Homo-oligomer: A and B are copies of this chain.
Amino acid sequence: MKSTAILALLAAAGIAGSAAGAERPRFAIDTEAVYDPAAVAPYAGHHPEVYAHVDASIEAHVAALQRWMRQPSISAQDVGIDEMAEMLRSDLEAIGFQETALVPTDGHPGVWGYYDAGAERTLLVYMMYDVQPVNPEDWDSPPFEANLVDHELGRVIMARGATNQKGPQRAFLNAIESIVAVHGRLPVNLMVAAEGEEELGSPHYPQIVDAYEDRMRTADGVLFPMSVQAPDGRTTMLLGVKGILYFEMESRGGDWGGPQRSEIHGSYKAIVDAPALRLIQAIASLTSPDGNTILVPGYYDGIRPPTEEEQMLINGAARSRNEEMLKNAIGVARFIDDLSGRDALVETLYMPTLNVDGIWSGYTGEGVKTILPHVATAKVDSRLPMGLDPDEALAKIRAHLDANGFEDIVIRKLSGYPPAQTSVDAALTQAVIGVYNKYSKGLSIQPRIAGSAPFYQFTDRLGLPLVPAGLGHGRGAHAPNEIYLVEPGPGVPVAGLAEIEKAYVDLLYALAGK
């Protein structure tokens, strides 16, 4: 279509908004070697007295989960936050944490706990005690009654926070309670550093780290209790997350032109600039016409390609990937450029994105209304792989807009944090794999996921490996009828609450090398 000479000229002329020559890097997978988690020896330890204690206490353990879930703790609405923070703190104290405290922040308080086992190894446990809001009328069982309900998978607790994240977290505490009850002390030292603002994007978690940074650095790794089993029993391990930059772009009439006070009659467009068109042009300048390649100069430059370890993990993850199931689940007929297999996986995990989460301006009702709106706004996010920092990304976007004459477009940053990555070779990761191999039917390891979480506080700031881990199954996070499976029905090959807790028992001993 376009000759190379023209493309060269275009590049030389720096044509604004042209897609000419813009391409996403394609990272090659140089190896056919596959990381095989099955090659990690299953955890060989056995702690029958503790397991027996778990089994004997299971009614009380279920009740402990229900007690947490019956305490609302909706961070967005400040409902029950202080009560839940205190419940967590006093639970830690009751278990035997010598040190517990509420941690003041500029938002909801954190909770700190330290259990000194006099052990060599120390595990830092990240927890969140807040939950999403609810529409009670959408629920089959009231969201804060935490009733036991019969489900196709078995006996479940239905409650807001059931799986996200009270169930797995309290299951972890049940496990250590049984260890302490049987053996008097834990095999590792524990730090708990919990927040009440995860559902708000963790805006003040850095302040919690500030308060205990030196001590946190001495930990050997970070566990985020999470149930990661699918209904067929398979487990998935996530070793990394993308970072995110989230901002609003706005065009508003001003000295540059456009109506400043309010919308005006649409016929004035002939001689009056349109903020809506300016915003549309500014956003359009950021991507290729298909919306899939970012045209901001240098945006792809620093991205770290998959390491050899990650390539082996990708080769493994590609084997267990079911693309048709994924397409069906999200209602998508085809992926961009008809990507599939490893290519789709590398694109998903290693490319930064530019996405419009929302845009609004002017008249959005039925029929015809002819106005020239004075303001137009969009919400935009960019998911960031390793090698692209949010502040750097924002600076590049700003520079691109300015260079293309869009100085009048206002950017308001709402959130931003870098990606996080943990190595499969970390002692914590290996211990978790060993425990999974003891209990579950098959483990797939994702070198990272396309979503974001502020785990960089641990991986980058503290230099610690972080693994979200735990057996069991829950679903319905952020939705009505959230559940946590406590007693799987016949033939459902998923861990119930007792097995979830036994696996956490094993994990602590595995970390201690026992």
Q: Residues of A with Cβ closer than 8 Å to B?
A: 1-3, 5-6, 9-10, 12-13, 15-20, 200-201, 242, 244, 246, 253-262, 264-274, 276-278, 280-281, 283-285, 287, 289-292, 330-336, 339, 344, 347-349, 351, 353-364, 367-374, 376-377, 379, 381, 383, 404-406, 414-415, 449-452
Known: A356-B276, A358-B361, A450-B268. A332 touches B259 (CB 8 A): yes
Known: A272-B332, A291-B281. A359 touches B362 (CB 8 A): yes
Identify 16 new A-B residue pairs, CB closer than 8 A, beyond the known A261-B331, A267-B450, A356-B361: A6-B10, A15-B18, A15-B20, A255-B333, A257-B332, A257-B336, A259-B330, A264-B330, A269-B354, A273-B336, A274-B291, A277-B287, A277-B356, A357-B370, A357-B373, A360-B364
> Are B277 and A281 in contact, CB atoms less than 8 angstroms apart?
no
Out of B17, B278, B363, name the residue touching A358 (CB < 8 Å): B363
> Are A280 and B278 in contact, CB atoms less than 8 angstroms apart?
no
Chosen A-B contacts, 10 in total, with CB atoms closer than 8 Å, are A257-B335, A266-B383, A267-B450, A276-B356, A277-B355, A278-B290, A280-B280, A280-B283, A280-B356, A284-B284
What is the bound-complex CA distance between A372 and B356, given in angstroms? 7
What is the bound-complex CA distance between A451 and B361, given in angstroms? 21
> Are A271 and B344 in contact, CB atoms less than 8 angstroms apart?
yes
Would you list the 8 A-B pairs with minimal beta carbon distance, nearest first? A277-B291, A261-B331, A284-B284, A358-B362, A267-B450, A358-B363, A269-B355, A276-B356
Known: A267-B451, A368-B415. A274 touches B330 (CB 8 A): no
> Are B347 and A357 in contact, CB atoms less than 8 angstroms apart?
no
What is the bound-complex CA distance between A451 and B372, given in angstroms? 12
What is the bound-complex CA distance between A355 and B272, given in angstroms? 10
What is the bound-complex CA distance between A370 and B357, given in angstroms? 6
Known: A13-B2, A260-B332, A347-B271. A357 touches B376 (CB 8 A): no
Known: A269-B383, A280-B359, A381-B370. A331 touches B253 (CB 8 A): yes
> Are A289 and B353 in contact, CB atoms less than 8 angstroms apart?
no
Contacts of A264 in B (CB 8 A): 330-332
Contacts of A415 in B (CB 8 A): 368
Known: A353-B270, A383-B269. A331 touches B262 (CB 8 A): yes
Min C-beta distance of A438 to chain B, whole Å: 31
Contacts of A260 in B (CB 8 A): 331-333
> Are A332 and B291 in contact, CB atoms less than 8 angstroms apart?
no
Q: Which residue of B lies closest to A345 (CB)?
A: B271
> Are A257 and B289 in contact, CB atoms less than 8 angstroms apart?
no
Min C-beta distance of A397 to chain B, whole Å: 15
What is the bound-complex CA distance between A287 and B404, given in angstroms? 15
What is the bound-complex CA distance between A362 and B270, given in angstroms? 30
What is the bound-complex CA distance between A493 and B404, given in angstroms? 52
> Are B347 and A270 in contact, CB atoms less than 8 angstroms apart?
yes
Min C-beta distance of A191 to chain B, whole Å: 28
Contacts of A336 in B (CB 8 A): 257, 271-273
Contacts of A13 in B (CB 8 A): 1-3, 6
Contacts of A406 in B (CB 8 A): 289
> Are B287 and A281 in contact, CB atoms less than 8 angstroms apart?
yes
Out of B269, B290, B353, B364, name the residue touching A281 (CB < 8 Å): B290
Contacts of A10 in B (CB 8 A): 6, 10, 15
Min C-beta distance of A15 to chain B, whole Å: 6
Min C-beta distance of A317 to chain B, whole Å: 14
Contacts of A6 in B (CB 8 A): 9-10, 12-13
